[in-house]
């Protein structure tokens, strides 16, 4: 039953989210609003997004150190495949700012209290599986063209790719296959994760809503995918540091795109109340270290 709830959502959810048609002006406005969110809460966004350039550098070092240079580009391109899941905290920040409540960096983790958190995790695992399959396919394409012999150096690898027929075949086939992976992820997740953050629905309903949103706006969604890809390429230079700005801006913008594409819910989910921490006094140490110590220090006579 638990698995069915994750996939299908609560039994009380019967009405499917309504989809709107959007235009180019809506895409521009979503990006503008995303930039405004990032400008309003830059400390939290940068704090959360520092992991992306760090991970990128670690991956690059591992690739160069273990002679797996051909996978560097597929790994960098793979950010687009897991990006919708990785930006989950930014959707929550934009949602809370939209409601006009005070925001702190801890609010990005409020999705852990979302009724749809299990569905979020399930859909995130699906994207990670797609990412792993993409890396395996990219490796197979390279082996089919150059065999198992690793590149001797970076200049040697660059010459292989850009000055040989096998290299151009690698570029053409690799980019075409990568496009198919990216298009698949775009269709199934363009508004899926914001919907899961916003409402108690199952992973299947989130994917179906995303697919319906794409079907209703194929041209605009294709343009949105190109915008995301272009910004991720720009953010990957140099050494992935630009992702510290690009990823949060795209995350916030995706939330506003969701708001434009999907009709709002008349009964939005309530914010999870964060427990209040009682003030501690020096007189309570070390007793305050033990569970159940909630007493205030005695008043002075």
Q: Convert the pLDDT of each residue in 152-179 to its tens digit.
A: 777 888 888 899 999 999 999 999 999 9
Distance (Å, whole) CA 212 – CA 200: 18
Average pLDDT over residues 238-266: 87
Report how many domains make up the chain. Answer: 1
pLDDT at 259: 96
The per-residue pLDDT for 147 is 87
Q: What distance lies between CA 28 and its chain's CA centroid?
A: 20
- 244 falls within a domain: yes
Indicate if the pLDDT at residue 6 is higher than 70.
no
Mean pLDDT, the chain, as a whole number? 80
Contact assessment for residue 80 and residue 232, using Cβ atoms and an 8 Å cutoff: yes
Residues 6+ away with beta carbon under 8 Å from 87: 193, 247, 248, 250, 251, 254
What is the rounded average pLDDT of the residues 100-112? 71
| In-domain check, residue 115 | yes
Say if residue 109's pLDDT is above 50: yes
Bigger pLDDT: 74 vs 187: 187
Per the CB < 8 A criterion, the answer to whether 30 and 261 are in contact is: no
Q: How would residue 2 be classed by pLDDT, with cut points 50, 70 and 90?
A: very low
Token digits of residue 16:
């499917």
Higher pLDDT, 174 or 265: 174
Q: Regarding predicted confidence, which is higher, 59 or 232? A: 232
- Is 280 among the domain residues? no
Share of the chain above pLDDT 70, in %: 72
- For residues 244 and 235, what is the distance between their CA atoms, to the nearest angstrom? 8
Burial class (CB in 10 A: 0-12, 13-18, 19+), 230: exposed
24 domain residue, yes or no: yes
Q: 106 pLDDT band (50/70/90 cuts)?
A: low
Assigned domain for 210 exists: yes
- pLDDT score, position 262: 95
The predicted structure's pLDDT at residue 180? 95
Res. 4 pLDDT band, cuts 50 70 90: very low
For the cut 80, the answer to whether the pLDDT of residue 267 exceeds it is no
Q: Is residue 4 part of a domain?
A: no
pLDDT for position 293: 43
Given a contact cutoff of 8 angstroms between Cβ atoms, the answer to whether 218 and 135 are in contact is no
Domain that holds residue 207: 19-264
Whether 219 shows a pLDDT value over 90: the answer reads: yes
Task: Assess if residue 275 is contained within a domain.
Answer: no
pLDDT at site 132: 93
- Give the separation between CA 204 and CA 230, rounded to whole angstroms: 29
CA 227, 52, 241, 233 torsion: positive or negative?
negative
- Tokens of residue 74, six digits: 């597929």
Q: Does the residue 11 lie in any domain?
A: no
47 close to 238: Cβ distance less than 8 angstroms: no
Model pLDDT, residue 55: 66
Q: Give the model confidence (pLDDT) of 190-218 as tens digits.
A: 999 999 999 888 999 999 999 999 999 99
């Amino acid at each position: 039953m638990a698995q069915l709830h994750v996939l299908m959502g609560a039994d009380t959810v019967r009405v499917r989210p309504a989809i709107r048609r959007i235009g180019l002006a809506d895409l521009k406005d979503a990006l503008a609003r995303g930039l405004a969110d990032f400008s309003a809460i830059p400390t939290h966004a940068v704090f959360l997004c520092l992991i992306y350039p760090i991970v990128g550098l670690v991956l690059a070092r591992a690739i160069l150190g273990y002679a797996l240079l051909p996978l560097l580009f597929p790994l960098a391109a793979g950010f687009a495949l897991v990006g919708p899941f990785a930006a989950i905290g930014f959707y929550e920040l934009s949602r809370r700012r939209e409601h006009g409540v005070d925001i702190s960096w801890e609010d990005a983790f409020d999705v852990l209290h979302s009724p749809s958190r299990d569905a979020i995790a399930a859909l995130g695992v699906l994207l990670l599986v797609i990412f792993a399959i993409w890396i395996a396919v990219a490796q197979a394409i390279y082996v089919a063209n150059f065999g198992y012999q690793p590149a001797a150096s970076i200049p040697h690898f660059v010459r292989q790719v850009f000055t040989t027929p096998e290299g151009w075949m690698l570029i053409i086939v690799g980019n075409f296959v990568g496009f198919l992976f990216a298009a698949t992820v775009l269709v199934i997740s363009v508004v899926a994760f914001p919907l899961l953050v916003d409402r108690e629905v199952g992973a299947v309903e989130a994917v179906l809503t995303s697919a319906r949103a794409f079907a209703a706006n194929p041209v605009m969604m294709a343009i949105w995918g190109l915008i995301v890809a272009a910004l991720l390429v720009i953010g990957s230079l140099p050494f992935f540091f630009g992702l510290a700005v690009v990823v949060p801006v795209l995350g916030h913008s995706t939330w506003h795109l969701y708001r434009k594409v999907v009709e709002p819910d008349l009964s939005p989910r309530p914010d999870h109340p964060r427990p209040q921490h009682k003030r501690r006094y020096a007189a309570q140490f070390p007793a305050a270290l033990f569970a159940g110590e909630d007493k205030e220090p005695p008043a002075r006579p």
